[in-house]
């Protein structure tokens, strides 16, 4: 099974600060169809997860453009350019290139 390693596990930020989260895969997430199925989710307390980014870098409809995703192969990054209070929660990367699908362990974003 693919293992996704997320770092850091916890991130402390001030409002307006830019932060990045890393997600590294134990094998390439490039599918034979040419797509790379790596998504980023945000889960706020008491809520189901929300899709932010799909196919590495595509912004889900309605998600603010301060969120961006990048990467290829086995190394991926989520960047938040100017953290806002509503961004606090736990961020997960998830791969859907290889079954069984797998999630990263999560990165908790909290206020400094």
Partner 1 sequence: QVQLKESGPGLVQPSQTLSLTCTVSGFSLTSNSVHWVRQPPGKGLEWVGAIWSGGSTDYNSALKSRLSISRDTSKSQVFLKMNSLQTEDTAIYFCTIRLFAYWGQGTLVTVSS
CB atoms under 10 Å from CB of 70, counted, come to 13
Site for partner 1 contains 105 (CB under 8 A): yes
Residue whose CB is less far from partner 1, 1 or 86:
1
State the number of CA atoms in the 13 A half-sphere of 14 facing the CB.
Answer: 2
Site for partner 1 contains 90 (CB under 8 A): yes
Structure-token match 């989520």, residue found:
78
Task: Classify residue 77 as exposed, middle or buried by CB count within 10 Å of its CB (0-12, 13-18, 19+).
Answer: middle
Is 88:108 a contact under the CB 8 Å cutoff? Answer: no
Residue whose CB is less far from partner 1, 13 or 105:
105
Q: Which of residues 24-43 bind partner 1 (CB under 8 A)?
A: 37, 39, 41, 43
CB of 7 to partner 1, least distance (A): 14
Residue whose CB is less far from partner 1, 9 or 73:
9
Q: What backbone torsions phi and psi does residue 102 show, to the nearest 5 degrees?
A: -145, 150
Return the range that interacts with partner 1 (CB under 8 A); candidates 16-24, 64-72, 76-84, 94-102. Answer: 94-102
Return the range that interacts with partner 1 (CB under 8 A); candidates 14-22, 24-32, 45-53, 66-74. Answer: 45-53
Q: How far is it, in rounded angstroms, from Cα 22 to Cα 6? A: 6
Residue whose CB is less far from partner 1, 81 or 102:
102
């Amino acid at each position: 099974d693919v293992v996704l390693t997320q770092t850091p596990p916890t991130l402390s930020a001030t409002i307006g600060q830019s932060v990045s989260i890393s997600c590294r895969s134990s094998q390439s997430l490039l599918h034979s169809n040419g797509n790379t199925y790596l998504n980023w989710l945000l889960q706020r307390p008491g809520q189901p997860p929300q899709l932010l980014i799909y196919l590495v870098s595509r912004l889900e409809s309605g998600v603010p453009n301060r969120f961006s995703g990048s990467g290829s192969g086995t190394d991926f990054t989520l960047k938040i350019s100017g953290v806002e209070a509503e961004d606090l929660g736990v961020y997960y990367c998830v791969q859907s290139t290889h079954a069984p699908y797998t999630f990263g362990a999560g990165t908790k974003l909290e206020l400094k």
